[in-house]
Each structure stands twice: as structure tokens, then as C-alpha cells.
Structure 1
């Protein structure tokens, strides 16, 4: 009984012999796990370096467009409204027609005033010609008056000689007193006729000067102008053109291609000039304003490619664009009540700067967007 072996030492030796293989297996598993983690990290790093390095992302981006505000340039009652909200229109399509009865009357009045101005110009030109003709006729009257003066001088000289001869004959008794009186009367009459001829010349010259003044006044109305360049005619033509333009403006047409939005006009409503009646959104030229954090813009440059996705179409539709500009300030700088940072409890807040992204027109034609939709934007800063 004393020589019988005890089983306990054998069990301890067996467990001790089995322990080393279990520890080695654990170490191998940990080593494999570490290798797998390193490989995965390396693959992820390689993928990030190839596909994501240099790309900045934001989901704070919105679709915008330079919408056209349609306003009436003339006032009047609305006769027709040819479009409805959400309707697509082309540039030049008729949107609204205003009653043109008053505009047609204005055109007729302006046409009458234009014809009257043309007639007055013709009258002024005729009066100028008539005044010039009168001046020329006064030259003939002056010549006649001077001829009468010459005749009066000759008559005066003849009667003076006749009077002198009668005076010599009266002393010798060869002529009677009656003959002397008759000769003296003839001399006085000739002298008066001479003075009257002188006055006739002065009167003719004065009349000519007056006619010259009238001719100058008439010529001043038409000098240097034609019926097309005369100020009165040109002013009447301008009023006629304005009336015709107002008549044409009673038909309101689309200024751009777009979608009718916010229509505020009804048939029968009287609209005033300058009041907006609807908005046209040119979705074919839509763009995106992406608000990136200031820390993301270090390497962003104009012209770099951008990829955009929208919840409107889902992630399967990718829009392509490029950076075309940066806003002049952050949204906070131009808010209604700008932040006052010069305070004692100031906390730095990362600001966002709007970046304008122009979308490829082919993508917009294939998948039209609407103003205000949110977008996810990714800029590849490695691209040029």
C-alpha cells in the first residue's frame, strides 16, 4: 500500500505540458488580427489618398437662379392672362394682354399732332420763300423811286431855267407877269415833286428793311433744318413713337425662358405700371451656392470641378459643375443683425462662405432642378 503511486502529480504535469500550445495559438491569432487591421487601415488609407484626399464636402448648398421679375410698363385693365403657375414658357411668349383702347387713342392723337407739325413746317418754309420774294420786290420799288427822283431833278432844273428866263424877260417887257407867276409855280411844283421822290426812296428802303426782318424771322424757323430734323416735327415724332411703344407694351411677353412662379394677376384686374405680376425662374441656367466652412477653403480655387447630388433625384444622379466665384463676405456679415464679436464672452464660431458653382447645362437639361433645393457638393481641389 505504501508503494502505490498518487495520481495528482501526473495531472499537474499533463496540464503544464498542454499550456504552451494554447498560448502560442492565442499569439498567432492576435498576430493575424493585427495584420488584418493593418492591411485594412492601409487599404483605407490608400483608398482615401486616391479618391478622397483633396476633396472638400458640404451638404449646406442650395439651388439658385437669376429669376426675372415680370412687371407691366403701362397701366390698364387686364384683358387676358395666358399662362398659369408652374407653366414653362419660352422667351417672347405672351404672358398677359392689357386692354389697349386708351393706348390706341393716344397713338391716333400723336399721329394727328405729328401731321400738324409737318404742315406747320411746310407753312414756315413757304412764308420764308414769300418773305424773300417781298424783299426782292422792294428792290424794284427802290429803283422806281430813284428813277422818279432823277425825273424830278430834271423837271426841277428845267423849271428853274424857265423861271430864270422869265425873270430876265419881265424887266424888258417881253414877258407878262402872268407868265412869270406860272413859271414860278411850275418851279415850286417841281421842287415839291423832287422832295416827294426823295421821301419815296426813304419809304421804299424802310419797307425793304421791314421785309428783310420778316424774311429773317421766317427763315430762322426753317434755317438749317429739314422736315425730318425740324425740332417741332422731331418732338411730335418722339411723342408718336412713345405712344406706339406704350401700345406695344400692352402685350407683356416673357423676357427669358423659365417656369412661371408667384403669379399675381387676374383677368379684369387693373394693374399699375411697375407693379410685379409674376416671376419667371430660368431653371436652365440654375446654379448652386455651396456654403463651405472657412477651414475647408484653403485649397479651393476658381475653375475646380465639383460633383453635386440632390435628394430630388437621389444619389444615382450626379451633377457636374465647376467653381466660378466666391461671395464677398460670409452670411453672418450680411445678416440683418450682424454678430457683435467685440464682447467679453466671445466664443469663436466657424463661419461659412458661399461658393458659386455653375452646373453643366447638359446635366440640367437631363435633370432639371428647382430653386431652393438642397444639394450635396464635393469640390476636388486637385482638379484644374
Structure 2
């Protein structure tokens, strides 16, 4: 047999077999076909806004976590101290505001008003009373003031002892100190007045009484004029600033606990107790539960056989006998040419549409980067 004849017979056989296979393939794949792709995942990188030293690593690589579960704990000691300091400062400015508001202004007006009336009465008495009565009254005032000063000093000593032992607030000690100073000043003033009376300097004493009346009345007018409002406004601003400081530190303390933002699988966590974590640096990589998906490309000729929401079967080389269930999440509306530089009509027949298929992998057997075959069956 001639060589050319043999070749023709072989070619004819190949043609027959190929035609038969093509017809079988068209029949077999009319309602089902396979597209290939690569498994990908929606990963989340988690860290802390404040950073710090690792106190405890709670989560482990490969385990699943729920939203809000603790992954890593950072040492909070410095922030705890800062919070206590900020809260103390807030209490201090709130106490200051309390003194400036409520009934304080009215009480102060009433106190100064009474003091003004008393000073005026003393002035009137100096002008009208006989000299001996003035001397007797001055002596009595001096003894009373002296007793008050001695009592104030003894009280201050007791308060000072308690303050040194931190048994009372510093404000109580400051108040006692002010009262002791005022009592001492009152005693000296009473003694000076008594000495002036004895020396017969009645005109000078009357002048001093008039100055005292004028001084008290001036303070009273100032308080009634509303200048006190400026101090209240300043105290309010101080409170707002102190509260903001407290809230800031509380927010920073919250960041010392690194939590899972969603239900996820811990993909990467390489930390040990004592490690330093930088602020804003991711320290844990999570894979969102149910986030594995296949990026595949659907030929234009098969576009009518697939749709979003369609269930499909997925196989990977690692589990060749197992079908994983998937759902087409999205078919991109913009087609692509692969390779991208093809121009002719025949070449445009190679146009494909990127397709995303979400995988149901409850046992976490699949991994990003695996090659996958997606079998699509016409519904």
C-alpha cells in the first residue's frame, strides 16, 4: 500500500473520531460546563490604634472567632494611671464649678451685704458712742478675735496632720488654712483697733471704718454686676476639656484589647507575650467567615447559561472526589479579551466575563491560592 494512501486513511480515521467526540461533547456539555479559576479570600488586617506591649495572646492561628472576641491583650497600666489622673482633675474642676454655681453667688451676696451692714453699724457706733464704751467694745472684740485665731490654729494643725496622712482631701486643708489666716488677720486688726482706741486716735479709727465700708460695698457691687459669670464660663470650659481628656484615655484603653471585628478564621497571628506592637500596625490577619470565593472567567458563549445566585459545584486537586457547593455571586458586566491585545473578529470570540463564585467551606478545608474547577449546570 502506498504511503499516501495510508496517510489518507489515518486522517480519515482521526476526522471520524474527532467528529464523534465533538458531537458527544456538545451533547454532554449542553447543560453543564466547567470553568477554572483560583480561590481567593476577603482578609481583614486587625491592629490597635495605641499599640503597646503584649500582655496576653488569646487567639490561635487556625481557630474560628466570633465578632467581638478578644484576640490579643496589651498592657494597660500606663493608661490606667493616666485615666485616674484625668478623673481626679475632672473632679477638681467640677468641684470648682459647683462652688461658682447653684446658690453660691446669692450666698456670697448675702454674706457681703451682712458684712456691709455690720461695717456701717460699726462706723455709726464710732461716731456716736461715748469713748469708754468704744474702749470696752474694742477690748471685747480683740479677745473674741484672739480666741477665734487660737481655735483656728489648733484646727489647722489637726487638719494638716490628717492631710499629711492623706486621710482628707487637699481642699479641706486649704479651706482650714484660709480660715486660720483670716482669723489671724482678724485678731491683728482687732488688736490694732484696741490700741488706737487706747491711744485716742478716734479720727483715724473712724476713717479706717469708712474705708472698710467702702471696700465691702465695692465688692458687693461687683458681684451684683455679673462679673462672676466669666468665672462660671471659664469653669465650664475646664470641665469640658477635662471630660474630653477622660473620654480620650478611655478610648485608648479600649484599644488595648484587640478584638475580632467580624466572625472569622484566624489566618496569621505571630505574637508572644512581651512583644511590642506599634500603633496602627496590623498584628492579626483574619479571613472573614464565608469569604472564600473563586475568581474564574466565563466565556461569552456560555454567558446565557449562568446567572447570579446560581448554585454550582467546585472541585480542587487536594480533594479530587469531593464536591464543594458554591453560589455565583457576581458576573461582571464588562467583558475582557484574553490576551487583551486581540483585535480580529475571530479573536474577539475569546471574550470572557470575570465571575465570582462564593464557596461553602464549613470545615475550612480550602485555602486561598488553590486552583479550582467550577461546574455550572443550566438551571
Q: Say yes or no: does 1:128 pair with 2:105.
A: yes
Q: Say yes or no: does 1:73 pair with 2:37.
A: no
* Pair 68,367 (structure 1): closer, same or farther in 2 beyond 3 Å: closer
Counterpart in the other structure of 2:242: 236
Counterpart in the other structure of 2:355: 355
- Shift of the alpha carbon at 1:355? 1.2
* Pair 138,101 (structure 1): closer, same or farther in 2 beyond 3 Å: closer
* Pair 207,366 (structure 1): closer, same or farther in 2 beyond 3 Å: closer
Aligned to 1:365, what secondary structure does the other structure show?
A: coil
Counterpart in the other structure of 1:104: 80
Aligned to 1:63, what secondary structure does the other structure show?
A: strand
Counterpart in the other structure of 1:119: 95
TM normalised by structure 1 equals 0.56
Counterpart in the other structure of 1:63: 39
Q: Is the 8 A contact 2:83 2:246 kept in 1?
A: yes
Q: Say yes or no: does 1:249 pair with 2:246.
A: no
**Which runs of structure 2 are paired with 1:168-207 in the superposition (5 Å)?**
none
Q: 2:328 aligns with which of 301, 323, 329?
A: 323
Per-residue displacement from partner, 1:224-244 (whole Å, max 9, x unpaired)?
A: xxx9xx553343223223222
Counterpart in the other structure of 1:156: none
Counterpart in the other structure of 1:178: none
Cα distance in 2 for partners of 1:263, 1:41 equals 52
Q: Is the 8 A contact 2:269 2:285 kept in 1?
A: yes
Cα distance in 2 for partners of 1:266, 1:220 equals 54
Q: Is the 8 A contact 2:307 2:331 kept in 1?
A: no
Per-residue displacement from partner, 1:88-137 (whole Å, max 9, x unpaired)?
A: 44444432222222111111111111111211211221543345547977
Per-residue displacement from partner, 1:278-323 (whole Å, max 9, x unpaired)?
A: 2012354422222223443245322233222222221x32222322
- Shift of the alpha carbon at 1:373? 1.9
Structure 1 unmatched ranges of 5 or more: 1-36, 149-201
**Which runs of structure 2 are paired with 1:88-99 in the superposition (5 Å)?**
88-99=64-75
Per-residue displacement from partner, 1:319-354 (whole Å, max 9, x unpaired)?
A: 223222134756889xxxx96789x9xx76935432
Cα distance in 2 for partners of 1:70, 1:77 equals 16
Counterpart in the other structure of 2:299: 293
Counterpart in the other structure of 1:52: 29
Aligned to 1:297, what secondary structure does the other structure show?
A: helix
Give me the CA root mean square deviation: 4.4
* Pair 371,275 (structure 1): closer, same or farther in 2 beyond 3 Å: same
Cα distance in 1 for partners of 2:114, 2:71 equals 67
Cα distance in 2 for partners of 1:221, 1:75 equals 39
TM normalised by structure 2 equals 0.56
